[in-house]
Amino acid sequence: MSPWESVIPNIGAADATRTAEAPMDSDAFGQFYERSAHSLWAYLARVSGDPALADDLMQESYVRLLCVTLPEEGEVAHRRYLFRIATNLLRDHWRRPGTTSIEELPEEFFSSSDGQARLDLHALLGPALARMRPRDRQILWLAHAEGYSHREIAEITGLGSASIRLLLFRARRKIADLLREQPVAERRAP
Amino acid sequence: MTLHPCAREKEVAELLRLGHWPDASSNELRAHVNGCRMCSDFVLVTQTFQAARERSLPSRPFQSPGVLWWRAQLRRQNAAVERMNKPILGAQIFALSITALLAVGFVVFQAAHGVGWLSWFTDFSQSRASYVEGLHVLTSAASGWGLDLLVPGLAALAVLSGVVLYLASDRQ
């Protein structure tokens, strides 16, 4: 405790409690979590190819969501903001020294199955997804699994809306070609 | 490669979103999708990703939302305490800086006016035969400098400056 705190007792505790109110109460958060956790985990696991990392980043995303003053009200906006936080955390993870950049990761990294912790993308997503660039996979997932619009994807990823349109168009065409190369049985059980 | 979306893509997307594709779609729309590269790509990719999403299951149960909520509360409180401690730290640094500045100023002042205080030792040694006389010399030397008022005054000013700075920054 610093000498100032002994002069002005409890200044920190009282004011901190007052300013530390979460953007939603515990019950509201519990309901929001129930409805969004599976989607967020699937996004993180599919894009990173690492379920353990997805677990960690998902928890951190929710904690950060609760620590900020949300710019918009409503579950849709909160959910979008949550995906934005998760996308930034993924990017930070790849940028950190010692971890490889998302653009430098070989596509085989995402399709390899070294141990139980690694998500078996070959069995779950199919070789087509494994051959996509990670950024394309992010965009495709947000657009086709989550149903976000170009504007929303731009907001989540930080890319320009016009770029999203072009990137998504190319990525969709590429993955459609790759999917068509596979037998129908594999495609139905991605 | 054209970037213009097919005019019927929205219609197809809506049916897919509602889960009505292909059962609730017209024969004409199905025929269109079979013949349109953009729409067929859209249907194929959307169905594949939605199936993958449904089948993405974590290997272990998710963390309880209550635990995450309390972790966030704790982090918010720590951040708030940290924010409030910033002005205190600033005031302490300011007060220390003022004190150091005064000390340096005093030394510079004395150096500029010669080491006059050395003469006090001479006077004191000459008059140490009488302790009372020595005290008299000490008092007269100190009052000559005016330090008995100046130093406590400046110290009080430094402390008050710190308090004022703290109060000012705390209200921001």
Contact A51, A117 (CB under 8 A): yes
* Cβ contact, residue pair B56, A45, below 8 Å: yes
Q: Which two tokens mark B135?
A: 């005290």
B45 neighbors A144 (Cβ within 8 angstroms): yes
Chain A: closest CA distance from residue B142 (Å) = 33
Is the N-terminal amide bond of B22 cis, ω within 30° of 0?
yes
Closest of A87, A100, A178 to residue A135, by C-alpha? A87
Distance from C-alpha of B91 to C-alpha of A14, rounded to nearest angstrom: 21
Q: Report the predicted TM-score, pTM, of the whole model to 2 decimal places.
A: 0.65
- Chain A positions touching B79 (Cβ under 8 A) are 20, 67
Q: Which of B14, B18, B76, B89 to mutate to test the interface with A (most CBs of A within 10 A)?
A: B76
Q: What is the pLDDT along chain A (190 residues), one digit of tens a residue?
A: 444 444 444 444 444 444 456 678 889 999 999 999 999 999 998 888 788 899 999 999 999 999 988 777 788 999 999 999 999 998 888 777 665 545 555 454 444 444 333 344 344 466 777 788 888 989 999 999 999 999 999 999 999 988 999 999 999 999 998 888 876 555 555 4
Task: Provide the ipTM.
Answer: 0.70
Token look-up 């190319």 returns: A170
First to last CA, chain B: 57
Tell whether A20 lies on the interface with B, counting CB pairs under 8 A.
yes
In the block, residue with structure tokens 């030394």: B107
* Residues in chain A, overall count: 190
Asked if B104 and A69 count as a contact pair (C-beta separation under 8 A), the reply is no
Amino acid code (one letter) for A5? E
